Amino acid sequence: MAQKRRGGKAAGFSTRAIHAGEERRRYADSITTPIIQAATYTFADTKDIEAYTRGGKERFEYGRYGNPTEKIAMRRLANLEGAEDAVVFGSGMSAVTTTLLTLLQSGDHMVITDDAYKKTLEFCNGYIQRFGIECTVAPFGDYDALDRAVQDNTRLIFSESPTNPYLNIFDLERLREIAQKHDVLTLIDSTFATPLNQRPLEWGVDLVIHSCTKYLAGHNDILAGVVLGRKELIEEIRKLHKAMGGVIDPHCCYLLLRGMKTFALRVAHQNETAQRVAEHLEAHPMIKRVYYPGLPSHPHHEIAKAQMTGYGGVVSFDIRGSLAIVKRFLDNLQLCFIAPSLGGVETLITHPGLVSYYDKTREERYALGITDTLIRLAVGIEEAEDIIADLDQALECARGQK
């Protein structure tokens, strides 16, 4: 498994993104990890059964408990994040919910920040309380409030960094200090950052979650999630994962492995493109404000500089004018697709108010910071000049139709 150079030095990130987790010689001498499309695995005889059940022989038994293609994906993800172990899921939300239900039990309390993914907040504010688990929502960036929110029965603190849609950056050193003070676990959803730009485990975070659907797979064609961290914590999560059945199928694992081979190249390009787009939009007369951690104007720019090596491929911004102008802008785009995801090779753009928060009243949306004029852009791997040109012409069309 080509993870080290001659002399014992660790191989580079791009090299590990291609090779980590794989044996050099593979089935049928294939250059790619094969798709093992099997739900069950045979035993040669009863001695083989006992070697597995009593002797700890490493092998596969049933698809819900593991698959050879999945195992390679799991190893590679752990390697890139710098984790001892990982569990791969059929979606990012499955990773979130299974992890929380593993670590929390009736009578426990958790803290989550308010600038988290909508479905994550819904699960923590609603469904999880059916199990007798309390949840406090703390304002993002108010570390004194976060500290005060911790109770005697608090088990963990959960946040995202960067967040959606404002790209807020959590100060991971402050998080570690608060967690150590109260002896609680920490969990960061690092989907927007990716392991290339930020590795929270290196800052003392206990567990990291990614929606692999996004940058890690990178082609808008699969759903997948992963949780990574210390072996003892991951093993507990793996036990519940086997029972709940939120497994990923072998073909998705194959596509995830394929995506990771170009992951470092894609994300580096997206970092550069997003920075250029953010700087261009910030100078545009039709744009009221741009939210991107690579800009000095972002409130958490200095934190991002300290703990990130790149600022990601998502840029959020407010357009000057009304909802009608925003709709005309979106309707006149020719390159960017209107779609709710991110991290793929195609540039996607979405209006959170119309898409993610359509079920909220205007007053409820505004209380959450989701305004009529807020746009989230997820750059793909097209040329930056082409993305900028498309944004410019759409803005000009919207302005001309006032």
Sheet with 207-211: list strands edge to edge: 85-89, 225-229, 207-211, 185-189, 154-160, 109-113, 134-138
Q: State the pLDDT confidence band at 367, using cuts at 50, 70 and 90.
A: confident
Q: State the pLDDT confidence band at 25, using cuts at 50, 70 and 90.
A: confident
Q: Could you tell me the domains of the chain?
A: 13-261 (3.40.640.10), 263-400 (3.90.1150.10)
Q: What is the mean pLDDT of residues 185-210?
A: 98
| Per-residue pLDDT at 29 exceeds 90 | no
**Which pLDDT score, from 0 to 100, does residue 402 have?**
47
Q: What is the pLDDT of residues 269-287, one digit of tens each?
A: 999 999 999 999 999 999 9
Tell me the Ramachandran region of residue 204: left when phi exceeds 0, alpha when psi lies from -120 to 50, beta otherwise: left
| Per-residue pLDDT at 248 exceeds 80 | yes
Query: Both tokens of residue 9?
Result: 């030095």
* Least confident interval from 1-10, 114-123, 251-260: 1-10
Nearest Cα neighbor of 88 from 66, 103, 56, 115 is: 66
Q: What is the mean pLDDT of residues 43-68?
A: 94
β pairing state of 185-189 and 154-160: parallel
Q: State the pLDDT confidence band at 370, using cuts at 50, 70 and 90.
A: confident
Amino acid at 353: G
| Per-residue pLDDT at 123 exceeds 70 | yes
Whole-structure pTM value: 0.94
Between 10 and 5, the more confident residue is: 10
Q: State the pLDDT confidence band at 223, using cuts at 50, 70 and 90.
A: very high
| Per-residue pLDDT at 332 exceeds 90 | yes
| Per-residue pLDDT at 344 exceeds 90 | yes
Distance (Å, whole) CA 180 – CA 174: 10
